[in-house]
Amino acid sequence: MIEDIKGIVRDAGKVLLDYYHKVSLSVEKKGNLDYVSEADRAAEKFLVERLRESFPDTGIVAEEGAHVSGKKIFLIDPLDGTNNFIHHIPYFCISVSLVDGDNILLGVIYDPIRDEMFHAEKGRGAYLNKRRIQVSGLRYPSRAVFSFGFPPPAYRMKKEFILLLEELVGDVNAVRWLGAAALDLAYVAAGRIDGTAQFGLKPWDVGAGALLVKEAGGIITDLNGGGDVLSGYVVAGNKNIYSFLSEKIHRRFSRYLR
């Protein structure tokens, strides 16, 4: 099954690249500081059609509105990192996961710029193309690279987020805000980023990346330290880096946590 999904996602990546190299791109505002391009819609249409052909009994929930009922559901983000894409910043991806309730069964994240296919099936490890990957073995936060995602749905927490960044800058190796949450999580799984916290996501942003982190030997939880990663508020890393970052988040964001 996953090989078929990887093939479909790779073909959708070609759709994105065709739009990426266009001189002009049609872009619409769909919410507060939130945009959708014709590339998002074209890639979603392609993915939905191909997945329905190949897996007619599986439901679909996609970012730009596609919805097909089913016990098992594909969560689709046809273009994670739309703002990067619009501005020709080469950090964006396609994210597809298969879930059964809260149980994430498989995930695929594809970076068409670098032709990097991150993929995982529950209980079978995490891979980048054909190579098995694992999270960073780094023990010390002072040497760690952290990434964050903080889109408009999380702006009610912005004061606490700024205080968190102020606390980290100077005490850790580097802090990054890269603009594509799914790819950040894939990079944690591959050991490129040591830890990440992502706020205000949707299930299609986080499903595939959450499974990749787990299958690569990492820890990912919601902000409360629980398993509700599809809530869209997550902390991830290896054991040591996760513990460091989650402690700081619990302290800074305690009034928002259950």
Do residues 100 and 72 touch, judged by C-beta distance below 8 A? yes
pLDDT higher than 90, residue 53: yes
* 127 shares its domain with 147: no
Same domain membership, residue 114 and residue 16 = yes
Say whether both 70 and 167 belong to one domain. no
Tokens encoding 158: 């912005």
What pLDDT shows up at residue 16?
A: 96
Between CA 236 and CA 45, with CA 212 as vertex, the angle to 5 degrees is: 115
pLDDT of res. 255: 78
* Greatest mean pLDDT among 59-63, 142-146, 164-168: 142-146
Assess whether 70 and 176 both reside in one domain.
no
Domain of 237 in residue numbering reads as 141-256
Q: Are residues 100 and 145 in the same domain?
A: no
Q: 49-53 long-range contacts, Cβ below 8 Å, gap at least 24?
A: 50/8, 50/11, 50/12, 51/5, 51/8, 51/76, 51/96
**CB atoms inside a 10 Å sphere around CB 153:** 16
The answer to whether residue 66 scores a pLDDT higher than 60 is: yes
Q: How many domains does the chain have?
A: 2
What is the structure's pLDDT at 33?
Answer: 56
Q: For residue 48, give the CATH number of its domain.
A: 3.30.540.10
- pLDDT grade, residue 106 (50/70/90)? very high
For residues 126 and 150, state if they share a domain. Answer: no
Q: Examine the domain organization and report whether 32 and 109 are in the same domain.
A: yes
Domain match, 117 and 178 both: no
Claim to verify: residue 212 and residue 146 sit in the same structural domain: yes
Residues 180 and 126 in one domain: no
Do 32 and 151 touch, CB atoms closer than 8 A? Answer: no
Indicate if the pLDDT at residue 34 is higher than 80: no
Shared domain check, 163 and 112: no
Q: In angstroms, rounded to a whole number, what is the distance separating the alpha carbons of residues 16 and 173?
A: 33
Write out the two tokens for 150: 């903080």
pLDDT given for residue 201 in this prediction: 93
CATH number, domain at 201?
A: 3.40.190.80
pLDDT at residue 154, rounded to an integer: 87
Give the end of a domain, one of 96, 113, 133. 133
Look-up: residue for tokens 């193309």?
129
Domain boundary among 66, 99, 133: 133
Spell out the SS3 assignment of 64-77.
CCCEECCCCEEEEE
Q: Do 50 and 128 lie in a common domain?
A: yes
This prediction has a pTM of 0.94
**Sequence-separated (6 or more) residues with CB below 8 Å from residue 25:** 19, 37, 38, 39, 86
Final residue of a domain: which of 68, 98, 133? 133
Spell out a b/e string for 129-142, using b for 16 or more CB atoms within 10 Å of the CB, else e. eeeebebbebeebe
